[in-house]
């Protein structure tokens, strides 16, 4: 049975490592500052106790005044999972890319960039994946008009 | 003798930009559906001419060996494959082989949703098919965009891009429905009056 | 005297007999050897995630059929599980058993197409796939008996299934379960030690364990590389903890192992269906759920072990009748991330074979 | 004796006639106007899975392919010469057999030379 680690039992470990990283921790997920996302993710992946070596998926949700990125991490060895979230503001949505940690993030980040308009710094090949170059706008945004 | 690698890599961004431009132009151009090529109906009614025996032979030969091009974007593709497989055998109608290249195909069964990104390619494949050629629009997506008609990236129907001869509704249409559509196409071909300028035969 | 050889670029493009749909690869070749490959998606991007936001929870079910159109039952199951987790809906016993039977039948059907088209790409043109489609037709008859449709069933609902099994279903399932193992043995006997298949696929397109996990591959691609990770065992959903079956895992993650894992998984699925059919109880098939469900504000992630890998639906709800956001985790898209390093250095014919062994479905990649 | 040659002649005429009809059929249909002809620039373009070709096709290949081709032609011609002997080898007896062995040996010397000059290695 995959043990879903809640924000509460992971947040203390993260705050011990990066004092001001955790913005909010609830029973579902732990929300981290977007600037420190890469360091926290690297910490989560490399510490032996957590060992989140399998990035299940990345989703992006548009909450009108901010975008929320949801990283669903799983550890195959310990069979536990964690939902890591980060928020970036709407007018300059940029988040460090996780491709150097998990190569599986490559196409998912390109898709989020294409449909939601969030740029991922450090992504090797960030361009549209589902739509064609020269397409105006990002369709999955709530304020997208045909 | 050392073989040294020269790697003039293409510029992907440049190619994408050109293709993107092409899609935008085609999208602007194709806002109205292309009228279906039903020329044979009008001629038939107006001049009520009998088909010459040459026409009959030609139409019989064209009708009984229509080779479909494998154009299989989405779900309807697997109903088309099921039709071609052993249970609903397509080769009873002489459509034995699915030709991969449009050069050797005379029928395009458009089995799947058409998106704007795919539209210029469909136009090019259709243009590269040899005459005489026909198109069966298979499935609701091919006829009118179907369940995805309200989407931002779906072409509402193949007839915006290429002239369509027979429409087979269904999502996906059952193999029997597709076979019925193919039979309708056969009837259409039988009645078609190929524009022969046989000045040899027509003396006066 | 150095000899200049220029690599040249060809499009193994959207309209191609062995790209399993509209997938395009801009491959840079040096003679026969593949130097580089740039995959291009999006030719079947219908924007299903955007359409989800303008459909009710029940109205979105037909759209999930068209995601991975080779395993519509599994798509329905994944979506419906996610909504039930979101709206905390309980499912009656009989519906759970029916769902397991349908999902496992769908896995056999999808694997039949996967193995058939893999052999088709290996050069056995049309013969194996036509035999395997003959078996798949038997499964489609069962599905048609239950849901009235051959490919896009729209059979499952939030809280159960839309209608009960007709009474002639279980006898038909019985004689299917008698025949099918014989067919699988027939294929195995013809193909497992087949000289050409071994030569063409043993050691070709190897994906080692670490890259497979790092690339978040799933399903037969991940298990062929030796990682024992199957959602039915790792995180048992619905009633999978009541059946015992084992997870076939390959050793060196090459094309042959992926083929072998899929054939063994077909056998395991038949075992599960056998047990599910034995334990099935009678009773209601659907719990009382309003047609327009308004799940409480919140989010949920429901995932299952679909034939191609882990298929998951991440739903965010704002207590309205339509999902606020519906993200679909497409296993084929993630399995393709490793394509580039699997094919480097192989010849073009092997590229087609490796791509066929990954078994992707463009419907769920482009969504 | 002459009659049997007649049959061969008849057979040759039928063969030539058949191929001529097959070759001229499209030309005839084209002239009669039955085969429709609607050329357009896109149709004349090369077909590459529906999109434009990239770069030029007139590219410098790896030279190794030509070595393989040459060796194949040499050994293939050898096989062609063996056919007439193989058809009737008992009647031709030992002298023909020796001649064939010598002939094969000569060609194999060339093959051995290419082998030693590493023409068959790829890198």
Tell me what the pLDDT averaged over chain D comes to.
88
Q: Residue C181: which residues within 8 A CB-CB, separation 6 or more?
A: C267, C270
Tell me, what DSSP letter sits at residue C187? H
| Chain C residues closer than 8 Å to D66 by CB | none
Residue range B92-117, pLDDT digits in tens: 998 888 888 899 999 999 999 999 99
* First and final C-alpha spacing in chain D: 60
Beta bridge partners, A31, equal A24, A85
Chain A residues within 8 Å of chain B (Cβ atoms): 127-128, 130-135, 139, 144, 146
Distance CA B62, CA B58 (A): 6
Which range is least confidently modeled, B144-153, C6-15, C66-75, C152-161?
C6-15
C271 CB within 8 Å of a chain D CB: no
Phi, psi of B157 (to 5 degrees): 110, 140
Give the containing element (helix H, strand E) for C29. Answer: strand C24-30
Tell me how close the Cα of B63 comes to any Cα of chain C, in angstroms. 24
* Domain count for chain A: 1
Kindly report whether the peptide bond that precedes residue D23 is cis, defined as omega within 30 degrees of 0.
no
**For position C2, what pLDDT does the model report?**
63
For residue C124, being part of any structural domain is answered with: yes
Nearest to C210 by CA among C235, C195, C227, C189: C227
For residue C154, being part of any structural domain is answered with: yes
Nearest to C311 by CA among C325, C327, C326, C330: C330
The yes/no answer to whether this complex scores an ipTM above 0.90 is no
Cβ density class C11-36: b for 16+ within 10 Å, e for less: bbbbbbbbbbbbbbbbbbbbbebbbb
Per the structure, the complete domain to which residue A71 belongs is given by: 3-96
Distance CA C121, CA B53 (A): 45
Tell me what the pLDDT averaged over chain B comes to.
84
For residue A15, being part of any structural domain is answered with: yes
Phi, psi of A138 (to 5 degrees): -120, 110
For residue C252, being part of any structural domain is answered with: yes
What CATH number does the domain containing A74 carry? 3.30.460.80
Nearest to B145 by CA among B134, B137, B157: B157
Which range is least confidently modeled, A58-72, B25-39, B119-133, C90-104?
B25-39
Interface test with D, best of C24, C27, C29, C31 (most D CBs within 10 A): C31
Interface test with C, best of B17, B23, B113 (most C CBs within 10 A): B113
Q: Residue B124: which residues within 8 A CB-CB, separation 6 or more?
A: D42, D45, D50, D51
Interface test with D, best of B39, B124, B129 (most D CBs within 10 A): B124
Nearest to B51 by CA among C103, B60, D48: B60
A23 CB within 8 Å of a chain C CB: no
CB-based contact B76:B112 (threshold 8 Å) = yes
**pLDDT at residue B11 greater than cutoff 90:** no
**For position B42, what pLDDT does the model report?**
54
Tell me, what DSSP letter sits at residue B35? P
The alpha carbon of residue A33 and the mean position of all alpha carbons in its chain are separated, in whole angstroms, by: 11
Tell me what the pLDDT averaged over chain C comes to.
92
Chain C: residue whose CA lies nearest to D58: C8
CB-based contact A16:A50 (threshold 8 Å) = no
Residue range C206-251, pLDDT digits in tens: 999 999 999 999 999 999 999 999 999 999 999 999 999 999 999 9
Tell me how close the Cα of C179 comes to any Cα of chain A, in angstroms. 34
For residue A25, being part of any structural domain is answered with: yes
For residue A62, being part of any structural domain is answered with: yes
Sign of CA dihedral C299, C300, C306, C311: positive
Mean pLDDT of C134-145: 94
Nearest CB to A146; choose among B13, B16, B152? B152
Tell me what the pLDDT averaged over chain A comes to.
90
Tell me how close the Cα of B82 comes to any Cα of chain C, in angstroms. 7
Mean pLDDT of B163-169: 93
**For position A2, what pLDDT does the model report?**
83
Q: Which two tokens stand for residue B189?
A: 């071909």
Distance CA D123, CA D38 (A): 49
**pLDDT at residue C17 greater than cutoff 90:** no
For residue A67, being part of any structural domain is answered with: yes
Contact D49 C3 (CB under 8 A): no
Angle between the N-to-C axes of helices C169-191 and C127-147, in degrees from 0 to 180, rounded to the nearest 10? 170
Residue D86 burial (CB count, 10 A): 11
Give the containing element (helix H, strand E) for C160. Answer: strand C160-161
For residue A28, being part of any structural domain is answered with: yes
Chain B: residue whose CA lies nearest to D51: B121
For residue A106, being part of any structural domain is answered with: no
H-type alpha helices, C88-192: 93-121, 127-147, 169-191
For residue A127, being part of any structural domain is answered with: no
| Chain A residues closer than 8 Å to C318 by CB | none
Nearest CB to B75; choose among C9, C47, C151? C151
Mean pLDDT of D75-101: 91
Polymer length of chain D: 123
Residue B93, judged by CB atoms within 10 A of its CB (0-12, 13-18, 19+), counts as middle
**For position B12, what pLDDT does the model report?**
86
Tell me the three state secondary structure of residue D70. helix
Nearest to C3 by CA among D71, D65, D74: D65
Per the structure, the complete domain to which residue C250 belongs is given by: 44-366
What CATH number does the domain containing C112 carry? 1.10.645.10
Tell me the three state secondary structure of residue C168. coil
Distance CA C142, CA C103 (A): 12
* Domain count for chain C: 1
**For position D60, what pLDDT does the model report?**
82
**For position D93, what pLDDT does the model report?**
87
**For position C13, what pLDDT does the model report?**
84
For residue A69, being part of any structural domain is answered with: yes
Distance CA C307, CA C301 (A): 19
**For position B192, what pLDDT does the model report?**
75
Kindly report whether the peptide bond that precedes residue B29 is cis, defined as omega within 30 degrees of 0.
no
pLDDT level of residue B199 (50, 70, 90 thresholds): very low
């Amino acid at each position: 049975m995959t043990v879903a680690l809640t924000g509460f039992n992971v947040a203390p470990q993260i705050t011990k490592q990066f004092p001001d990283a955790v913005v909010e921790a609830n029973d579902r997920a732990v929300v981290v500052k977007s600037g420190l996302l890469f360091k926290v993710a690297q910490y989560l992946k490399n510490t032996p106790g957590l060992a989140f070596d399998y990035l299940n998926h990345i989703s992006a949700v548009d909450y009108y005044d901010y975008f929320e990125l949801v990283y669903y991490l799983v550890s195959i060895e310990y069979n536990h999972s964690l939902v890591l979230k980060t928020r970036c503001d709407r007018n300059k949505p940029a988040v460090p890319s996780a491709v150097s940690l998990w190569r599986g993030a490559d196409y998912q980040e390109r898709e989020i960039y294409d449909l939601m308009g969030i740029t991922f710094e450090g992504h090797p090949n960030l361009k549209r994946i589902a739509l064609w170059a020269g397409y105006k706008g990002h369709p999955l945004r709530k304020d997208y008009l045909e | 003798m050392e073989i040294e690698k020269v790697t003039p890599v293409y510029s992907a961004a440049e190619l994408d930009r050109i293709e993107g431009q092409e899609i935008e132009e085609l999208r602007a151009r194709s806002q109205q559906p292309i009228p279906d090529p039903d020329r044979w109906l009008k001629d038939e009614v107006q001049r009520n001419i009998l088909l010459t025996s040459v026409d009959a032979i030609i139409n019989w030969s064209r009708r009984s060996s229509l080779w479909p091009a494998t154009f299989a974007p989405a779900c309807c593709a697997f109903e088309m494959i099921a039709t071609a497989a052993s249970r609903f055998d397509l080769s009873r109608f002489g459509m034995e082989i699915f030709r991969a290249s449009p050069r050797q195909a005379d029928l395009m069964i458009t089995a799947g949703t058409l998106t704007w990104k795919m539209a210029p390619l469909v136009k090019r494949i259709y243009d590269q098919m040899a005459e005489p050629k026909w198109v069966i629009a298979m499935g609701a997506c091919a006829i009118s965009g179907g369940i995805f008609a309200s989407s931002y990236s779906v072409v509402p129907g193949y007839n915006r891009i290429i002239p369509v001869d027979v429409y087979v509704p269904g999502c996906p249409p059952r193999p029997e429905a597709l076979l019925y559509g193919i039979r309708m196409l056969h009837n259409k071909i039988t009645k078609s009056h190929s524009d022969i300028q046989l000045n040899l035969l027509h003396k006066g | 005297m150095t000899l200049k050889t220029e690599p040249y670029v060809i499009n193994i493009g959207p309209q191609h007999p062995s790209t399993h749909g509209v997938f395009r690869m801009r491959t840079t070749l040096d003679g026969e050897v593949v130097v580089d490959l740039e995959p291009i998606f999006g030719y079947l991007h219908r924007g299903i995630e955007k359409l989800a936001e303008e459909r009710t929870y029940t109205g979105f079910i037909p759209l999930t059929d068209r995601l991975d159109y080779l395993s519509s039952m599994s798509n329905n199951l994944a979506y419906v599980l996610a909504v039930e987790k979101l709206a905390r809906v309980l499912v009656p016993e009989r519906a759970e058993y029916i769902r397991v039977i349908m999902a496992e039948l769908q896995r056999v059907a999808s694997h039949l197409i996967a193995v058939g088209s893999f052999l088709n790409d290996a050069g056995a043109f049309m013969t194996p796939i036509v035999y395997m489609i003959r078996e798949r037709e038997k499964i489609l008859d069962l599905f048609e008996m239950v849901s009235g449709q051959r490919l896009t069933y729209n059979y499952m609902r939030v809280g159960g299934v839309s209608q009960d099994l007709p009474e002639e279903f279980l006898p038909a399932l019985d004689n299917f379960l008698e025949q099918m193992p014989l067919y699988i043995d027939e294929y195995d006997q013809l193909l497992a030690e087949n000289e050409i298949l071994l030569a063409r696929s043993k050691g070709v397109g190897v994906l080692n364990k670490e890259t497979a996990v790092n690339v978040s591959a799933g399903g037969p691609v991940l298990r062929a590389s030796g990682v024992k990770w199957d959602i039915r065992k790792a995180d048992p959903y619905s009633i999978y903890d009541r059946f015992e079956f084992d997870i076939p895992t390959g050793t060196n993650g090459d094309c042959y192992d992926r083929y072998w894992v899929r054939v063994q998984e077909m056998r395991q699925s038949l075992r599960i269906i056998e047990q599910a059919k034995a334990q099935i109880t009678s009773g209601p098939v659907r719990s009382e759920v309003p047609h327009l469900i308004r799940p409480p504000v919140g989010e949920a992630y429901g995932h299952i072990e679909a034939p191609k890998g882990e298929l998951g639906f991440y739903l965010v709800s704002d207590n309205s009748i339509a999902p606020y956001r519906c993200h679909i985790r497409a296993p084929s898209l993630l399995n393709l991330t490793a394509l580039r390093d699997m094919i480097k250095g192989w010849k073009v014919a092997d590229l087609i074979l490796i791509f066929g062994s990954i078994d992707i479905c463009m419907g769920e990649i482009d969504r | 004796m002459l009659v049997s040659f007649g049959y061969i002649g008849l057979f040759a005429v039928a063969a030539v006639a058949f191929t001529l009809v097959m070759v001229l059929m499209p030309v005839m249909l084209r002239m009669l106007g039955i085969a429709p002809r609607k050329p357009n620039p896109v149709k004349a373009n090369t077909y590459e899975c529906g999109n434009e070709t990239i770069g030029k096709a007139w590219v410098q290949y790896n030279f190794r392919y030509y070595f393989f081709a040459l060796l194949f032609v040499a050994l293939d011609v050898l096989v062609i010469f063996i056919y007439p002997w193989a058809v009737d080898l008992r009647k031709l007896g030992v002298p023909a057999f020796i001649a064939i062995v010598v002939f094969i040996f000569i060609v194999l010397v060339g093959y051995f030379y290419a082998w030693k000059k590493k023409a068959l290695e790829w890198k």
